[in-house]
């Protein structure tokens, strides 16, 4: 390793320990401070990191790129804090921004890797890709002139992404077609739906929330508005399904909770910075007009899903059915870094309205279901006779609880 590389590594080590580049380079050049104080410890730690990076660079069995080595060092530093904090490479940071925003620029296709190459697994109905004639099962051979072979799904995704209003050019091979098919498709803003809904029975609605994004609350409110009301003008009950919901945006979960509460604490959090300490209270206005709620949870219900479950449960608005939740009682903040990277860092611990921390323990349901756990069943096709409660045992139990008048407690 060159002297310049050593200097950069030492400076890097100093930086991540709270030293400036100028301080780090100076202490490496001049030696450690004479007084055994905090600066001495920082110098020794910076020297240790620089020495380890140097040894890896020079002696590891395969050559290691300095840039990637430093990124790995940063990732290890952050991920050693807890299981939820992580350093995000540019592509991961962009993917997380898309996931939490609830919308993304694209043409409306989903991809999957196959031995033959990258296949379009699904084409969203009504999307630009669908309108252009692209079909599920098409094999992508080129995107923007870049050949796409087996294992190149990341390359395909990178070239498919772009600004709304721009055009992407792709070539596909279709089963039954001799010649390749070429398409030019304009990118538009597409939504990642997080709420699906149907009627379980007259006057009883079903809402499945798969994650919490920037559009979840508005999706849920739109779904509620579409439920046909019985003669009384009010819904007789609601089943909210949070099974396998990994969480997402805390504000989205709080807004959904507020939709079903007239008053009360939704969630509180404690952290070291002012932004990490907060209390969220409900405002008057229950969009369900007090309809009893059965809320289904399981071991895959985590984070923001647990915030919603606890808020409705502790404020006596919902009865929980299913299995103990995951137990993620911390809040992560997504921080942008230079060069398009990001940092997902645990900044708060949150508390339920009853004052409990569920971190590592989860939430025990009021009605515990036994037997093998299975994912939620597909919803009924629009316009068909409702059968979901017959095909999905937890939904059937939630419906029975409502009919028995046990929707609240």
* Catalytic site residue from 127, 294, 303, 348: 303
CA distances from 152 to 107, 159, 160 (A): 19, 11, 12
* Catalytic site residue from 127, 241, 294, 328: 328
| 303 is an active site residue | yes
Is 214 strand, coil or helix? coil
DSSP string over 297-321: E-TT--THHHHHHHHHHHTTSEEEE
Cβ neighbours of residue 358 closer than 8 Å, sequence gap 6 or more: 306, 310, 325, 327, 328, 329, 352
DSSP string over 109-177: EEEEEETTEEEEEEE-TTSHHHHHT--TTPEEEEETTEE--TT-HHHHHHHH---TT-EEEEEEE-TT-
Is 165 strand, coil or helix? coil
Is residue 4 exposed (0-12), middle (13-18) or buried (19+ Cβ within 10 Å)? exposed
| 344 is an active site residue | no
Distance of CA 7 to the CA centre of its chain: 39
Run of H or E residues at 280: strand 278-281
Other beta carbons within 10 angstroms of residue 105's beta carbon come to 16
* Catalytic site residue from 258, 259, 314, 392: 314
Q: Which of 74, 133, 46 is nearest to 338 (CA)?
A: 74
Active site residues: 303, 314, 328
């Amino acid at each position: 390793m060159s002297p310049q590389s050593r200097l950069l590594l030492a400076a890097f080590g100093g930086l991540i320990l709270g030293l400036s580049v100028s301080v780090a380079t100076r202490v490496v050049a001049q030696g450690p401070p004479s007084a055994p104080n905090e600066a001495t410890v920082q110098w020794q730690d910076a020297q240790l990191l620089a020495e380890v990076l140097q040894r890896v660079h020079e002696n590891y069995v395969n050559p290691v790129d300095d840039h990637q080595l430093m990124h790995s060092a940063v990732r290890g530093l952050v991920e050693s804090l807890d299981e939820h904090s992580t350093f995000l490479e540019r592509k991961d940071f962009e993917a997380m921004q898309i996931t939490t925003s609830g919308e993304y620029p694209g043409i409306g296709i989903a991809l999957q890797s196959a031995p033959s190459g990258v296949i379009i697994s699904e084409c969203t109905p009504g999307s630009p890709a669908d309108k252009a004639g692209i079909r599920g099962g098409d094999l992508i051979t080129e995107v923007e002139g870049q050949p796409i072979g087996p294992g190149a799904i990341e390359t395909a995704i990178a070239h498919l992404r772009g600004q709304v209003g721009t055009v992407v050019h792709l070539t596909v091979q279709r089963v039954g077609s001799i010649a390749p098919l070429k398409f030019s498709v304009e990118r538009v803003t597409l939504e990642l739906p997080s709420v699906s809904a149907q009627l379980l029975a007259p006057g009883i609605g079903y809402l499945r929330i798969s994650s919490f994004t920037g559009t979840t609350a508005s999706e849920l409110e739109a779904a509620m508005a579409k439920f046909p009301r019985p003669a009384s003008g009010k819904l007789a009950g609601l089943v909210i399904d949070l099974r396998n919901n990994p969480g997402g945006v805390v504000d989205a979960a709080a807004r959904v909770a507020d939709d079903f509460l007239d008053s009360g604490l939704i969630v509180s959090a404690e952290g070291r910075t002012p932004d990490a300490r907060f209390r969220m209270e409900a405002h008057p206005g229950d969009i369900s007009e007090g309809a009893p709620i059965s809320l289904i949870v399981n071991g895959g219900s985590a984070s923001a899903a647990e915030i919603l479950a606890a808020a409705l449960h502790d404020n006596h608005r919902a009865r929980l059915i299913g299995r103990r939740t995951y137990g993620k009682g911390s809040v992560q903040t997504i921080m942008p870094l230079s060069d398009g990277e990001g940092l997902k860092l645990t900044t708060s611990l949150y508390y339920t309205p009853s004052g409990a921390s569920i971190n590592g323990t989860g939430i025990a349901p009021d009605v515990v279901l036994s037997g093998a756990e299975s994912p939620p069943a597909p919803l009924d096709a629009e316009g068909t006779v409702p059968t979901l409660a017959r095909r999905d045992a937890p939904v059937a139990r939630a419906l029975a609880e409502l009919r028995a008048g046990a929707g609240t407690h």
